[in-house]
Amino acid sequence: MTKIMIVEDSEDIRQLLQNYLEKYGYNTVATHDFTSILDAFLEVKPDLVLLDINLPAYDGYYWCRQIRQHSTCPIIFISARSGEMDQVMAIENGGDDYIEKPFSYEVVLAKIKSQIRRAFGEYAVKQGEKVVEFEGVQLFVERFELRYRDVKHELSKKESRLLEVLLERGEKVTSRDRLMEKTWETDTFVDENTLNVYIARLRKKLRGMGVPFSIESVRGEGYQLRTGS
């Protein structure tokens, strides 16, 4: 049974969350001592944490950072704060999602299910599987599968090899020769137009997924990933 740790200082909200989630088969553990949340987390070993931001003593951002030193389990922030900066801070401090108060319990349940699938279900990374990541984009190398947020895209074998090199290099420039060598794994001559075709295909797929970077040409050198363009 999935175990959810609820860190919420409002007794009413805490109790309502517990009642609702337990009705759908979740095992919930609520924190009452807000000075030792990390100790409680390490003892409970939950599969997911619902974490309020406005807490006594230290805020939710602090406790999220503490938990992240020990675990990668999903953490969903729940807060009355509605500003964009609060949501940005939640993600930057290690959170996986953000829910504003007042909230719909159906939305809470849907987000919990989504994070559990990512962590333990069909989207989970299998042991020993190679995953290359850059700016939140994940390439599952053996599956030829690209993911960004809730979007998933299948790649061809050569597209996957090509993107693997680019993601590993990040914003460093990668020469065309190196890309062709790694992608085609052969000393046989490969027409540069063939590389151009694959780069164009990848650009189109990346744009369609809304990723935060693009594949840019560097004249006379090769290609690089560039953020904010």
160, 161, 164, 168 alpha-carbon torsion, rounded to 10°? -170
Boundaries of every domain in the chain: 3-120, 131-227
User: What pLDDT score does 54 carry?
Assistant: 92
pLDDT of residue 73: 87
Q: What's residue 168's pLDDT?
A: 92
Model pLDDT, residue 75: 94
Is 131-227 the same fold as 3-120?
no
Using only C-alpha atoms, the chain has a radius of gyration, in whole angstroms, of 21
Q: Which residue positions in the chain have pLDDT lower than 50? A: 187
Task: State the pLDDT at residue 124.
Answer: 62
Residues 167-213 pLDDT 10s? 999 899 999 888 988 888 654 556 778 889 999 999 999 999 889 99
pLDDT of residue 130: 85
Residue-level pLDDT at 201: 92
Give the model's pLDDT for residue 61: 94
Residue 127: per-residue pLDDT: 62
Q: Is the pTM of this model over 0.85?
A: no
Tell me how far apart the terminal alpha carbons of the chain are, to the nearest angstrom.
44
The correct answer on CATH 3.40.50.2300 for the domain covering 3-120 is yes
Residue 189: predicted pLDDT: 55
Q: How much is the pLDDT for 12?
A: 94
Rounded CA gap, 95 and 22, in Å?
Answer: 23
Please work out, in degrees rounded to the nearest 5, the angle formed at the alpha carbon of residue 161 by the alpha carbons of 149 and 210: 25
- Choosing among 3.30.365.10, 1.10.10.10, 3.30.390.50, 3.40.718.10, the CATH entry for 131-227 is 1.10.10.10
Considering Cα of 82, then 87, then 89, then 90, what sign does the dihedral take?
positive
